[in-house]
Amino acid sequence: MKRVSGTGSETDPHWVYTPKANGKAERFIKTLLGEWSYIIAYQTSDDRNHWLPG
């Protein structure tokens, strides 16, 4: 660890957050966000369009 000059304290050498830091969790979250609309089996495209946003 490096000393911060004049203060007597030390820096904490931790990594800045990036998706690479926790790739499995990031992939899981991305999958959940992309696949949430497939939980319900819609009978027709019109049904699906009626209930889903956009």
pLDDT tens for the 54 residues of the chain, in order:
555 566 666 666 666 666 667 788 888 888 888 887 777 888 898 988 888 776
User: HSE of 8 in the Cβ direction (CA atoms, 13 Å)?
Assistant: 0
- pLDDT for position 48: 84
19 close to 26: Cβ distance less than 8 angstroms: yes
Q: Which residues fall within 8 angstroms of residue 40, CB to CB, at 6 or more apart?
A: 51
pTM given for the model: 0.39
